[in-house]
Amino acid sequence: MRLKEKKTLTKPGPVHVTDSNFSEVMNKNALALIDCWASWCAPCAYITPIVEELAKEYADRVFVGKLNVDENPRTANQFQVMGIPTLLIMKNGKEVDRIVGVIPKNHIEARLKKHME
């Protein structure tokens, strides 16, 4: 009797990025949305489901990452993240847009779509 090979399905979603892998992640992805957050930040918790939805809906076009600013201060400082949540929209490794605070999902989508080809 032959056993079927078990396939593991992975759900698309945000990927945790760090100081050590940030450059590599940016070099591999033409368009990225990076959610800069912290565990103690209530507005960050509010925007998390929106970021997760965007990661699923745009999985084929946009890399979505989460950067914990407390654990990864070098990258947060590099991009001068002064308030959280901050969403960085990166294209070809360069910041092209920034959203600070909580805004509706459709506004984030509109800003992302401006940078899609």
Which residues are the active-site residues? 41, 44
From the list 81, 83, 86, the residue with the least C-alpha distance to 65 is: 86
Q: How far apart are CA 46 and CA 27, in angstroms?
A: 29
Alpha carbon distance, N-terminus to C-terminus of the chain: 50
